Amino acid sequence: MNIIITGASSGIGFETALEFTLDSKNKVVCIARSADKLRKLLEIAKGINPDCTLLPVEFDLVNDDYTALIPFLKERLGTIDILINNAGSLINKSFLTTTEADLAEMLESNVMSHFKMIQNTLPLMKSGSHIVNIGSMGGFQGSVKFPGLAAYSASKAALHTLTECLAFELADQGIKVNCLALGSAQTEMLEKAFPGYESPVMAFEMGKYIADFARTGHKFFNGKILPVAVSTP
């Protein structure tokens, strides 16, 4: 399979990439801003499976030029079977100290980057392709909310609605779009949101779940925002 993972240099994206590279038939493009972390990912992947194909791409989803990225993807992959939009960031501030610039940053990082990635890669997708957006329980309607995460949670809620809209719009092309609203997993982002909290789910466990869902979930779901949480937060 031909797979693209954004935000692949750490945490859940890192572990999801490693899970896909266990199968030597997969071609995995890993996109992130940190070249050093991507090199480390490639080193670990090759250590686990020397025959894997992992293509690290240093790219800023918000600011860089997609006209340079797409020809590379077309040349190395041809078509795209799975796109996992995992990249994102988090700001933890009280609402009164959250600025308009903070909200704009959350929307750019957690919504616009995925909007642009999907729009630019769609010409390389075909019937049966699966787009998986990584959302959050923070943006899941009716879930428990936490102080300091208003801008972050609002951006994730926007991503959830974008998922539903795209699933309907792309249905005629046979392209499925789903969103996993993740609860906690032990990552740097979790530590930033909830200092001192220890999640019952490790990053590698969540990475394996996401990889498995990306491979098979579109057989059962389309346009769904699926909560993936065993506890609060």
| Cβ contacts of 61 within 8 Å, gap of 6 or more | 6, 31, 87, 113, 114, 116, 117
* 57 DSSP β-pair partners: 31
Instruction: Tell me the C-alpha distance between 181 and 153, whole Å.
Output: 11
Phi, psi of 40 (to 5 degrees): -65, -40
Opening angle at CA 184, ends 155 and 27, nearest 5: 80
**66, 152, 197, 209: which is the annotated catalytic residue?**
152
Residue 30 — φ and ψ, nearest 5°? -115, 115
How far is 5 from 51, CA to CA, in rounded Å?
19
Question: Active-site residue 197, yes or no?
Answer: no
Please tell me the distance from the alpha carbon of residue 173 to that of residue 175, in angstroms, as a whole number: 5
Where in the sequence numbering do the catalytic residues fall?
152
